[in-house]
A and B are shown apart, each in its own frame.
Chain A
Amino acid sequence: MATHRRIDVSKTGDVSVVKFLDRKILEEAAIQELGAELFALVEVDNRKAILLDFDGVEFLSSAALGKLITFDRKLKTAKGRLKMCGVAPGILEVFQVTKLNKVFDIRTDATEALTAF
């Protein structure tokens, strides 16, 4: 099993629940590392149902958005499903102004997201 520095991964049923270890996702090096760890969940571990739980994340930049978009595309290509939850109001506003809330399936909390898989 891969060692992660940017995320914590657990399993709830068939769903891999991913939590972020950084409160602010903005440093370029950290974002690259985050992207690599997320992509490996799909490309190495072959996980098909993934919940990104943003609980505790206070900030992310557009570079981090780019990684999330690429991650979503990789998962869709692998016929997987991605959901998100626990998104702070400011980050939710970022998703809304960029209209990425139409791309991502964003749920209020983990309970709602898990039942939606």
Chain B
Amino acid sequence: MIEKFFTEAVLVGIIASGIRLATPYLYASIGETFGQRSGVLNLGVEGQMLLGAFAAFYVSLTTGNLWFGLLAAMLTGLIMGLGMAFVSINLQAVQGISGIGFYLFGLGLSDLLFQKLMGTVVTVSGFRPIYFPVLSDLPIVGQIFFNHNILVYGAYAMVFVAWFVLNKTTLGLKIKAVGESPEAADSLGVSVSKIRYLTISFGGMMSGIAGASLSIALLNVFQQNMTSGLGFIAVALVYFGGWRPIAVMGGALLFSMVNSLQLWVQVLNIPIPSDFAVMMPYVLTIIALVVTVQRVRPPSALTKPFERGH
């Protein structure tokens, strides 16, 4: 039975599909990593993704230019991020609750705009897989690594950019200082508000791109609530990865590949009930999360509003 898995088509399918499926998680969770490292939990990721997905889709559809669509998603996410920053920094609202508020706002508004501006489900011609001369034609490796669209590659590139910024730059040091001890950072002249505004709005922008990666690159369609909880999984992946970009990528790839594996389990008619198969990625994530949580400590100031002099 298990030997069915060890064929080229299945293994290539699982890995290539896992790489592709991880894309929206990567954008959203890398953005969220920045916010959380600076001490702000944004549970509105899903809403930002939905609005980003709609903006990208609608602008691409009306202008015929996918790059304008991507830009619209980034701007939409950025505005949502600025809103979240205002609520959590200036108004010092409870972050978990306000994040849920932003999620519901994104869910409702994206649907409303979809109903009013489009009215029915249509498709766009999204970003196509890039052809790399020679490389794309390689057996196995070509299919796994060199047959994806630009937003897939962008997601993995952002992981390394995030790692570099957080670990090798002064800005990264400031972000971590603000997330660990905002009082100490403040006393050394680092503006806690400015850093948090920067990270949350960047996170919003990344969530917008995550939405765009679905609507104009992977699926090329917009539908009400199309993210279907993906944004919340992205937040969980930040914890899973212990607030470190490379580990977050590992978590996203693991989750996506197990998801892809369970699709193959069913297609290969392996006698596991479908209910158990679809549970696989979630069960594995919970187990890994339990193990990780005992190993890594979250940023000390996470979810705590900062007020000078208090």
Q: Do A and B bind each other?
A: no
